[in-house]
Structure 1
Amino acid sequence: MQHLGKLEKIIYSAQDGIATIIMNDPSNLNAIDEQMADELLTAFQRAVQDAEVKVVVLKGLEKAFSAGGDIRYFYQRIQAGGEVSIDELIAKVGVLADHMKRMGKLIVVAVSGPAAGAGVSLALGGDFLICADNAKFILAFVNLGLVPDTGATYLLSKSVGVARALALAATGRPVNALEAQSLGLAHMVVPKAELDEAAMKLARELAAGPLVAYSNLKRQIYDANFRDYRRWLQETEIPTQHACGQSEDFKEGVKAFIEKRTPKFSGC
């Protein structure tokens, strides 16, 4: 078994041709901050470089896959009167999102519990999504006065169509595991106790398959559907999220979330 050193928020291991990446920051419910984004990218790059690795499995905690952005950090900055900039984070998660779709090795994502905000994007960034029956997907960005990031708008538009993608992003309503499957987002839904084994079973089956064909299949899919993904992340996602992140609505959304009240948006 191979381990990747100097990682604090994830656990990386590789054994029998399968690399497993576990987001492991229970104190923050796997919030996607800059460190988490950096460590995830490092782990995926290591999996690509390791000739022994054939398939990658991405997992979260049993309690939650990922809570999305680190809202408490934003709240502390706002309360202290400091500048709140999310530009660097959005740039980093964009690189991660593109890398996951571009890499030649298949990614199985296993989701237990809620995936919120950027956690939804990460889950959609893999190639096969397996959900525990307690999984829940929440595009919570709108509740903070933000737009989806980490490629979520792009990926959802491609997978469920423009109207559904807009409705999900604009309302932020939760989508449970069965609805995710009916929408074509989830490959499989299993009881929570069976999630790990279901993900590893699929990973083992894929690892025993024609890897050259899989790699070229991902290349075909990328070129057919994601050729402009990197440009869109850089030229559309970053500036639109920057504009939202500078708004008074963002500050109000963050404060309302932490203070557990309904936000009073002003539209500016």
Structure 2
Amino acid sequence: MEGTLEPSASAPDDAPGPPGVPADLLAAGGVRCAVEGAVATVTLARPERRNAQTPETWQALAAIGRALPGTVRVVVLRGEGPSFSAGLDLSRLTPEFIGTLARQDDAALDATLESYQEAFTWWRRPDLVSIASVAGHAVGAGFQLALACDLRVVADDVRFAMRETSLGLVPDLGGTKPLVDCVGYARALEICATGRWIDAKEAQQLGLATLVVPPAELAAATQDLVAAVLAAPRDAVVELKALLQGAGGRSYDEQRSAERAAQIRRLRDLAGLGE
């Protein structure tokens, strides 16, 4: 049983990355990825820019998601330095950049934006549990990247904000759905429309933070959560995640039916009768 293993709770920075992801692609995006056994650690590594993101960052993150080996069960996402991510690198949001995007026809522009979103979508795959380890600022794209993960361990100095509307834009990197799921429509509207700051205490009250700890304890608390997730058999966690992810779109009776179907698969697998 996989639950009897005692793997490392996080991959060291010098562990090998996922095969097939060019080092120059990761370097251009300011991203590192280390894989050790069942754990992959993805690090936003532009601390001099508070880990501000660029389209190259999103290309690198998307490539990591496509290349992760099937042995990985947990992915930890962290930021190097005091801040998780200050959001989009505003030095890239020039009138020329906006004009280049806007002049594309609808299909091409939709495809471009979808390619950016890929960096934010794979974290919720049923075969993975993703944990964001968040300190300092998580703004705009940084907030959305934290929201992309299943769980969020945050330092008590954290400050979340969704600032896209102040730039005349909307959050478009997959963050609106998990935000509404966490806090409800009215609160999500207020958070996005005002762009105000959310501190750690409020984040925990709203369900945005799974756990709040002092900054000095963030790495250890993240490792503890990784180890706890890895203690359960992988197939059970995969079934559980899919069951919970679909719950919001099902009626009570439909969810009970989904529970039964999932349990039938687990029972048969445990009895050696699975396909």
Give the TM-score range, shorter chain: 0.7 to 0.9
Residues 30/226 of structure 1: CA separation in 2 closer, same or farther (3 Å cut): farther
Q: Which residue of 1 aligns with 2:158?
A: 135
Q: How many residues align?
A: 222
Whole-angstrom CA distance in 1 between matches of 2:208 and 2:87: 18
The residue matched to 1:85 in structure 2 has which SS?
helix
**TM-score of the two chains, using structure 2 as the length reference:** 0.74
Q: Which residue of 1 aligns with 2:83?
A: 64
- The one of 162, 173, 198 equivalent to 1:150 is 173
- The one of 57, 61, 76 equivalent to 1:40 is 61
AA partner of residue 85 (structure 1): L
- Greater relative CO, 1 or 2 (CA 8 Å, sep 6+): 1
Whole-angstrom CA distance in 1 between matches of 2:55 and 2:197: 25
AA partner of residue 46 (structure 1): A
Whole-angstrom CA distance in 2 between matches of 1:85 and 1:23: 25
AA partner of residue 15 (structure 1): E
- Does the alignment pair 1:210 with 2:233? yes
The residue matched to 2:171 in structure 1 has which SS?
coil
Question: What's the CA shift for 1:99?
Answer: 1.8
The residue matched to 1:68 in structure 2 has which SS?
coil
Whole-angstrom CA distance in 2 between matches of 1:208 and 1:89: 39
Whole-angstrom CA distance in 1 between matches of 2:80 and 2:172: 22
Whole-angstrom CA distance in 1 between matches of 2:112 and 2:156: 31
- Does the alignment pair 1:18 with 2:39? yes
Q: Which residue of 2 aligns with 1:50?
A: 70
- Does the alignment pair 1:31 with 2:52? yes
Whole-angstrom CA distance in 1 between matches of 2:89 and 2:164: 12
Whole-angstrom CA distance in 1 between matches of 2:246 and 2:190: 27
- The one of 175, 184, 188 equivalent to 2:198 is 175
Whole-angstrom CA distance in 1 between matches of 2:203 and 2:210: 9
Q: Deviations over 1:242-266 (max 9, x none)?
A: xxxxxxxxxxxxxxxxxxxxxxxxx
The residue matched to 1:39 in structure 2 has which SS?
helix
Whole-angstrom CA distance in 1 between matches of 2:218 and 2:204: 15
- Does the alignment pair 1:109 with 2:132? yes
Whole-angstrom CA distance in 2 between matches of 1:76 and 1:10: 26
**TM-score of the two chains, using structure 1 as the length reference:** 0.76
Task: Check the 8 A contact 1:134/1:176 in 2, yes or no.
Answer: yes
Q: Which residue of 2 aligns with 1:83?
A: 99
AA partner of residue 70 (structure 2): D
AA partner of residue 22 (structure 1): T
Q: Which residue of 1 aligns with 2:17?
A: 3
Question: What's the CA shift for 1:20?
Answer: 0.6
108-117 or 66-75, which moves further after superposition? 66-75
What percentage of residue pairs aligned between the two structures are identical? Answer: 33
Question: What's the CA shift for 1:27?
Answer: 3.7
8-17 or 154-163, which moves further after superposition? 8-17
Q: Which residue of 2 aligns with 1:121?
A: 144
Whole-angstrom CA distance in 2 between matches of 1:13 and 1:95: 20
Unaligned 5+ segments in structure 2 are: 1-14, 103-108, 251-275
AA partner of residue 134 (structure 1): D
Q: Deviations over 1:178-228 (max 9, x none)?
A: 11001011010111011111111111221121211111122223333479x
Whole-angstrom CA distance in 2 between matches of 1:217 and 1:60: 28
Residues 109/133 of structure 1: CA separation in 2 closer, same or farther (3 Å cut): same
Whole-angstrom CA distance in 2 between matches of 1:204 and 1:42: 26
Task: Check the 8 A contact 1:18/1:207 in 2, yes or no.
Answer: no
Task: Check the 8 A contact 1:153/1:169 in 2, yes or no.
Answer: no
Structure possessing the higher radius of gyration over alpha carbons = 2
AA partner of residue 163 (structure 1): A
Unaligned 5+ segments in structure 1 are: 228-268
